[in-house]
Amino acid sequence: MDLIPTPEQLVAAAGNVAHTLLYGGLADLRPMPRTLIDDGVLREVYHYRPAVDVEQTGDPVLLVNPLAAPSLCYDLRRDCSLVEHLVMGGRPTYLVEYGQVSFKDRALGMEHWVEEVLPEAIRAVHEHSGGRGVHLVGWSLGGIFALLVAADRADLPIASLTVVGSPVDVTKVPLMAPVRPLLNLGQGTGLVTRAYRALGGVPVPIVNWAFTAASAQKVVMKPLAVATHLDDTDYLKQMEAVTRFMSSMTAYPGRTFGQLYHRFVKGNALAAGRMEIGDRTIDLAAITVPVLVFAGNTDGIAPLPAVRAVIPLLTGSPQVRFEIVPGGHLGMLTGRAARGTTWEVIDEWVAEWSAGTLPAKKAAARRTPAKKAAATKAAAKKAPATKAPARKAPARKAPAKKAAASKKAAASKKAPTKKAASAASIGSNPTRRYGSSGSRALGQR
């Protein structure tokens, strides 16, 4: 609102206040309808039911949820939901989430998600979609899990990988939420380790407190922000949806949190491109699928340098693309600006790398090579190499068709090749107005 509101602004503000008082809010918070297609220990795989008047076509997208954060991140509210956008666009859309973590899950480590939850979810989506390649989209820690699985399991039918706001080099994160506040409780004393072991993990109240601390400035300024936007219905709807999201956090299992704390946060292991999972070391250089990386221009949890650090590590990927988009950690994924930025790029990327049906692989043939491939760095690179022709052959055709179909495929000039990703391949359509030229500049530094 203006400092001296206009009559129109006063009328709009009065209408918003009245609607909130009478109906409890402005936002349409109904979730998109979905059906459970697979489940297991802390694993629930859902298929979002297609719209009545929209035909589903093309390869499926599997949204990978991060630990502790609710799946509302992908389905925040109607008119500002990535799920709704994909479903209404005719894209087969799936989600893997983890349910409620309890004390009995305290012994589960990261290997549970990397070896079982995500691979099983990918296989379920592959089979449910008629044998098509699966496009993974992971936000925050969900993106880290997706990277590790793609590097570890070259046998899985992954068509492409999209990583949204995933910090790889945590030394470049000024505020490591939600973990950083916990680290400051007792550095060097072992207090944090004793605490999460005693509690069996990080319970919901502490997770909520950590996320609130990470956005303390926004929390403090929220009343003023609401007061100055009383006439902006869409802004108020978004505030309602974000508030619900922030109050819906879940817990971290104890052993998983311990591994993240010691290896990822304190040890910064992934900054070198490798992390120990189970009985082996996973190397990100073993990823052989195309990778799209997003960074938010105002993201304090996963700032540009922390996210950009993954680019030089993806030497085995046929194409790596880096995009800077508007928004903070959540806003870049599902903020109001994401509707015309992040989501459009995801649409283009998935269409470009859709390759149709892929041959199914037997479960027995998958697990053994995965462990052998990760035994040494040399073997990790060798295993994906044997699979590369099967993935790259269909993948090269998709960009060619897209280039012939429209001018939007400016990225087709960077058609996938057998060369590793380079600075020249980073960036995207220069006609976009939100920083793709900056993305290319970052790749050349």
SS (H, E, C) 66-107: CCCCCHHHCCCECCECHHHHHHHCCCCEEEEECCCCCHHHCC
Please tell me the distance from the alpha carbon of residue 153 to that of residue 121, in angstroms, as a whole number: 13
Q: Is residue 61 part of a domain?
A: yes
345 inside domain: yes
Predicted TM-score of the model (pTM): 0.72
What torsion, rounded to 10 degrees, do the Cα atoms 430, 436, 437, 438 define?
170
98 domain-assigned: yes
pLDDT tens sequence across 15-27: 878 877 887 889 8
- Rounded to 5 degrees, φ, ψ at 129 are -90, 5
State which residues form the domain around 278: 31-175+269-443
CATH code assigned at 392: 3.40.50.1820
Residue 219 is assigned to a structural domain of this protein: no
Low-confidence ranges of the chain (pLDDT < 50): 177-178, 180, 186, 188, 196, 198-204, 206-207, 209-210, 214, 216-217, 219-220, 363-428, 433, 435-445
Say if residues 296 and 345 touch (Cβ distance below 8 Å).
Answer: no
List Cα–Cα distances, 373 to 26, 161, 282, 385, 397, in angstroms.
52, 20, 9, 11, 28
Give the pLDDT confidence score for residue 64 in this predicted structure. Answer: 97
Q: Tell me, yes or no, whether 407 lies in a domain.
A: yes
| Residue 274 confidence (pLDDT) | 92
Which pLDDT belongs to residue 176?
54
Helix (H, G, I), strand (E, B) or coil at 295: strand
- Within a domain: 204: no
Strand-pair partners of 136: 62, 161
Residue 200: inside a domain: no
- pLDDT on residue 364: 37
- Asked if residue 154 lies in contact with residue 122, where contact means CB atoms within 8 angstroms, the answer is no
Number of domains observed in the structure of the chain? 1
Please report whether residue 87 resides in a domain: yes
